[in-house]
């Protein structure tokens, strides 16, 4: 006997079954029988009480549409693995597809299916990875877990399934321009409008307003958060909102932030280690002379000789010029600057600031500040550089160059790569929750009147201008880690032995590249195989032509012609979403929680004369109590890992079933473990350990 579709439910929710006798005119033992095992996800609300039907599609025919149901049993509970027998009346040949349908029982009850395994009458097992939500009266058609290129599909059924899948996805994942000059984003105004498969499991967990408020409460600064326009008394006053939650690095920053070595160190290993570059010529707009800095030079060389010896570096915040400062609060004028900072590598290989100009135009009202100046003049000049660095970090290094570009890669992947494509299976874990977190940010954080406006000097539209400006120099090659380091003249370990961002980044880049190479070699025999892969070509073209809007200056490729190019491209996608985001995101509390070291806004304009700065002016220039607390809550919340975070090399959803892939994954994990050990050993005993690029601390994707 078997439960029929006429199954009824009592008012208490207990299932009551109607049975009917099957009249069988031939021996049941002769009928082919398949055992279907179904795994339901373990996340919240993964189970369902809806009806689940399954159809086996073979080369010779199909099974009947079968209700998966056991009498007196609660099927498809969260975390359950359930098995069902499906008997067919005739041989249906080799299984090609399985179709799963979900039909409403009482109200629509979403269901997350992890995988389905089919045991054939001959005893073979066929795995069908799913890892997706079935919502409403939805059906999902699955192919077995073997990855295939488009040209590998020879049958009409396989080709048709692949085409229909992508047609459906392209209607679901639509491009939309959020602001002119931005990378394109997903066409959704709110998180709840996103396809269920890319939403967070719990929207509450990524509610920025809730998380910031919770952070402020945890930091015990809620009594200050509404005290806008109220200045702190002095630097020690900032400790009132700092001392509750501190760590080794943040406390060290608080103690040493005024010192030149700490200022210089952050250009190498702080949370924005991408601004410093080798200085090969003193810019005309920054007329530093030997006489100005002679006291800072340690090698008995002139400034020009130090330049030729490769001992000078520069950080130029030209991108900040003409950016509109936050004017959303008429009671508190806010100000921005576009400084230039000359840095010197001393005989101990430490990077030290030796000259700062707070604008891009030299002149009487834009003096060059020096370490030999009055201590308050020099300190305020450094604070202005740190504030400008904070703005560029948040909006360009972080938002644009990890969040927004990873969303572009993710949307293009969903639109152009079918679920059986090896690149889809490879990239999927690395865009997990990225579109969701960005949508939530556009909904609450960086939107008009969003949280970003509360405490940031570029709020109210300046952050939009910054992204638009940065897009004009944003190239594909700048995402290739070794090339980005080389382009800034920072590649020599001998010249700069303490640039841990570079050293650790190179190790992780090589580990990812080696893994991608192993994966690609499993599926692509030659350059011609790459050229003939219409889906990978469409993916790369979609990124450039739609995601980056085919801007002339972006230089993103429209195709990949060789195995080497494909490996590099996929490495860029994975590295950007994982390692690069980790390097510039998770150190925010360490480096930015001591507010004088990273002011999110300035309440007085940059000084135009020397000798007029005192401690009172500095404190009055820094953020008020309310903005300080919002800033502290923000950098704390942004520095936290997600609950049940998946770190680099952790792929619990087994989209691949092939043994060579599993071997490649094992090798990848071994290399990552070795990198983690090297970093741990190097950090032992250091007052300022650098661990942001340790693989065991690198989440797979941009999800915070």
Residue positions in the annotated binding site for Ca(2+)? 47, 69, 109-110
The sign of the CA dihedral 408, 414, 417, 420 is: positive
Q: Among all chains, which residue has been given the structure tokens 């809007």?
A: 549
Q: What whole-number distance in Å separates Cα of residue 643 and Cα of residue 653?
A: 17
Cα atoms in the Cβ-side hemisphere of radius 13 Å centred on 577: 32
Q: What whole-number distance in Å separates Cα of residue 580 and Cα of residue 660?
A: 28
Cβ–Cβ < 8 Å for 235, 257 = no
Task: Give me the torsion for CA of 211, 213, 218, 223, rounded to 10°.
Answer: 170
Please return the burial class of 361, using the count of CB atoms within 10 Å of its CB with bins 0-12, 13-18 and 19+. Answer: exposed
3-state secondary structure of 278: strand
Please return the burial class of 620, using the count of CB atoms within 10 Å of its CB with bins 0-12, 13-18 and 19+. Answer: middle
Q: What whole-number distance in Å separates Cα of residue 106 and Cα of residue 111?
A: 14
- Binding site feature residues for Fe cation: 398, 403, 581
Instruction: Count other Cβ atoms within 10 Å, centred on residue 251.
Output: 15
DSSP H or E stretch at residue 111: strand 111-119
Q: Residue 342 forms beta bridges with which residues?
A: 314, 355
Instruction: Count other Cβ atoms within 10 Å, centred on residue 122.
Output: 6
The residue among 647, 318, 697 whose CA lies nearest residue 470 is 318
Q: Among all chains, which residue has been given the structure tokens 């010779």?
A: 60
Please list, residue by residue across 580-605, b when 16 or more beta carbons sit within 10 angstroms of its beta carbon and e when fewer do.
Answer: bbbbbbbbbbbbbbbbbbbbbbbbee
Q: What whole-number distance in Å separates Cα of residue 475 and Cα of residue 473?
A: 6
Q: Which residues, 6 or more positions from 56, have their beta carbon under 8 angstroms from its beta carbon?
A: 34, 62, 63, 86, 88, 92, 95, 98, 118
Please return the burial class of 363, using the count of CB atoms within 10 Å of its CB with bins 0-12, 13-18 and 19+. Answer: exposed
3-state secondary structure of 369: strand
Please return the burial class of 546, using the count of CB atoms within 10 Å of its CB with bins 0-12, 13-18 and 19+. Answer: middle
Diameter over CA atoms, the chain: 106
Q: What whole-number distance in Å separates Cα of residue 519 and Cα of residue 651?
A: 14
- Binding site feature residues: 47, 69, 109-110, 398, 403, 581
Mode of pairing for the β-strands spanning 351-357 and 368-369? antiparallel
DSSP letter at 429 equals G
The sign of the CA dihedral 577, 581, 582, 585 is: negative
First and final C-alpha spacing in the chain? 51
The residue among 680, 675, 652 whose CA lies nearest residue 665 is 652
């Amino acid at each position: 006997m078997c439960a029929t579709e006429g199954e009824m439910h009592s008012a208490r929710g207990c299932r009551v079954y109607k049975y009917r006798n099957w009249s069988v005119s031939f021996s049941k033992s002769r009928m082919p029988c398949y055992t279907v095992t179904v795994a339901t996800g373990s996340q919240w609300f993964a189970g369902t009480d809806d009806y689940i039907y399954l159809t086996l599609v073979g080369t010779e025919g199909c099974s009947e549409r079968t209700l998966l149901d056991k009498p007196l049993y609660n099927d498809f509970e969260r975390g359950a693995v359930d098995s069902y027998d499906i008997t067919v009346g005739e041989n249906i040949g080799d299984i090609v597809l399985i179709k799963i349908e979900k039909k409403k029982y009482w109200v629509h009850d979403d269901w997350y299916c992890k995988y389905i395994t089919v045991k054939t009458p001959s005893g073979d097992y066929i795995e069908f990875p799913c890892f997706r939500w079935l919502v409403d009266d939805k059906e999902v058609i699955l192919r077995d877990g073997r990855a295939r290129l488009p040209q590998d599909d020879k049958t009409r059924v396989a080709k048709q399934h692949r085409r229909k899948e992508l047609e459906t996805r392209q209607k679901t994942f639509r491009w939309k321009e959020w602001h002119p000059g931005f990378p394109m984003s997903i066409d959704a105004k709110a998180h709840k409008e996103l396809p269920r498969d890319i939403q967070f499991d719990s929207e509450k967990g990524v509610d920025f307003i809730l998380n910031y408020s919770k952070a402020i409460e945890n930091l015990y600064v809620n009594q200050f958060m509404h005290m806008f326009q109220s200045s702190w008394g002095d630097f020690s006053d900032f400790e009132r909102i700092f001392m509750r939650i501190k760590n080794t690095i943040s406390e060290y920053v608080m103690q040493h932030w005024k010192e030149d070595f700490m200022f210089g160190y952050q250009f190498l290993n702080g949370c924005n280690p991408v601004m410093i570059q080798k200085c090969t010529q003193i810019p005309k707009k920054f007329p530093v002379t030997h006489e100005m800095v002679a006291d800072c030079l340690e090698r008995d060389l002139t400034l020009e000789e130090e330049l030729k010896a490769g001992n000078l570096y520069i950080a130029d915040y030209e991108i900040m010029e003409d950016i509109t400062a936050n004017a959303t609060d008429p009671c508190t004028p806010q100000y921005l600057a576009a400084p230039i900072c000359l840095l010197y590598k001393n005989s101990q290989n430490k990077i030290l600031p030796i000259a700062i100009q707070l604008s891009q135009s030299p002149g009487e009202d834009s003096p060059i500040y020096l370490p030999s100046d009055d201590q308050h003049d020099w300190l305020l000049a450094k604070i202005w550089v740190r504030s400008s660095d904070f703005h560029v970090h948040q909006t360009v290094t972080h938002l644009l160059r990890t969040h927004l570009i990873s969303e572009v890669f993710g949307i293009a992947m969903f639109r152009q790569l079918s679920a059986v494509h090896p690149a889809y299976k490879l990239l999927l874990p690395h865009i997990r929750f990225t579109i969701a977190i960005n949508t939530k940010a556009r909904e609450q954080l960086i939107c008009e009147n969003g949280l970003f406006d509360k405490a940031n000097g570029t709020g109210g539209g300046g952050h939009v201008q910054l992204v638009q400006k940065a897009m004009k120099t944003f190239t594909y090659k700048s995402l290739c880690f070794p090339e980005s380091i080389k382009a800034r003249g920072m590649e020599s370990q001998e010249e700069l032995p303490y640039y841990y961002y570079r050293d650790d980044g190179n190790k992780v880049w090589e580990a990812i590249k080696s893994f991608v190479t192993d994966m690609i070699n499993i599926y692509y025999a030659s350059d011609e195989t790459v050229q003939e892969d219409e889906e990978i070509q469409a993916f790369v073209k979609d990124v450039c032509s739609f995601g980056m809007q085919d801007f002339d200056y972006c230089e993103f490729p429209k195709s990949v012609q060789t195995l080497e190019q494909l490996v590099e491209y996929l490495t860029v996608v994975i590295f950007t979403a994982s390692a690069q985001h980790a390097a510039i995101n998770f150190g925010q509390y360490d480096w930015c929680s001591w507010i004088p070291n990273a002011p999110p806004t300035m309440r007085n304009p940059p000084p135009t004369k020397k000798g007029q700065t005192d401690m009172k002016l500095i404190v009055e220039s820094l953020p008020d109590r309310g903005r300080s607390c919002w800033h502290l809550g923000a950098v704390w919340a942004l520095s936290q890992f997600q609950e049940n975070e998946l770190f680099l090399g952790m792929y619990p959803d087994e989209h691949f079933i092939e043994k060579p892939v599993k071997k490649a994954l094992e090798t990848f994990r071994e290399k990552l473990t070795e990198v983690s050990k090297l970093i741990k050993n190097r950090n032992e005993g250091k007052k300022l350990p650098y661990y942001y690029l340790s693989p065991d601390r690198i989440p797979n994707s941009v999800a915070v």
